[in-house]
Amino acid sequence: MAVATGPEKKLSNRQKIEIHDFDPGVTTVVAVGWRPIRGFRTFLARLMRTVGTAATTFDIAVATDSSGTSAAAVITHAVGSEPDAVGDELFLECSVENMRETLATSTHWSARISLATDTDEMVVTTIEADPQHPRTGLTADIVA
């Protein structure tokens, strides 16, 4: 059986996917890094429990700059069932239109999470999709 001559890049040119080790060491709400909204139309955040008790809050928020100024929640997960077993996952998704309805001057977005204990850990995946201009390198290997 022959091997393909080159990668298709149909998904990786149309989505920016990042995976984050979330271990803030506090129980207060923490942003998973503020990212520019510009250039994308849809946004998704996935939270997966790995260590500890549970997440207590989970939302997607927008702000007017990369430091989280004027942050406002766009969509909030009802976390009622709490991801309390290893591998439990929660998802949130919104559009750039939802973001601009919430904060008309928004330029950045982030998933925000609070944990039940300061020893809890999660893995957070962020996806920015439906780019105005698909291009190579949106999703790429990261090796330390």
pLDDT tens string 44-64: 999 999 998 889 999 999 999
Domain locations along the chain:
15-129
Whole-model pTM? 0.90
Contact partners, residue 3, CB within 8 Å, separation at least 6: none
Q: How far apart are CA 88 and CA 43, in angstroms?
A: 20
pLDDT in tens, 4-45: 776 777 788 899 999 999 999 999 999 999 999 999 999 999
User: What CATH topology corresponds to 15-129?
Assistant: Jelly Rolls (2.60.120)
Residue 12 contacts residue 140 (beta carbons within 8 Å): yes
